[in-house]
Homo-oligomer: A and B are copies of this chain.
Amino acid sequence: MGLCVNSYVVLGFLRVGARSGYEIKRAADASTRFFWVLSPPQIYSELNNLEEAGLVKGHSEPRGERARRLFELTAAGEEALVEWLKESGPMNLEVRDPALLKLFFADALPPGEILGHVQAMRRRAERMLEVFEQDILPLAEQTDANGMHYPLITSSFGHGLYKWMLQWSVELERKLADTPVRAGAPE
């Protein structure tokens, strides 16, 4: 019932101009999803939550027969957001990657199968880099030109992260190609 990280993501996007659940979803998909996933049902239920708490105010604005609600921050909502942004409690970074997990247990596998996984990791990093370079960064640069600078900074974090991962995968791929079983870690 209380507020959680998701609440502040929703408040944050409302603050910079999103009005509907769908607009929040679009904005999140193009930016924050790389370090915080948020699915549509979470957004919509969070909006209801926040309205009950008086942090957003919604009004009905149907498109024809289709129901539709637009929201805006209240003064209390803006304040709650800024207070949260100021807080500096311990914050845990969490990574979940089934691919690394498979690699962790890969000693149970014949060497031939393992190289394939590493190649898949490399390709995944390449795909992500494309997404960043074609979609995420250009959009963040626009935002930057509009006077909001931190979306570009955090997007560059994502971009740099995947560049690092690509490099790591390539190095491991090379080492495995040289000496299939006794690989030795890259570094």
Contact = CB atoms under 8 A, between A and B. Distances in A.
Interface stretch (A42-50, A57-65, A79-87): A79-87
A156 interface: yes
A164 B163 CA distance: 11
Contact of A95 (B84, B93, B116, B181): B93
Contacts of A157: 100, 168, 185
Interface string A94-107: 11111111111111
B185 A88 contact: no
Interface string A56-75: 00000000000000000000
Contact of A153 (B116, B156, B172): B172
Interface of A: 5, 8-9, 12, 15, 31-32, 34-37, 81-82, 84-86, 88, 91-109, 113-114, 116-117, 120, 124, 128, 147-157, 159-161, 164, 168, 172, 181-187
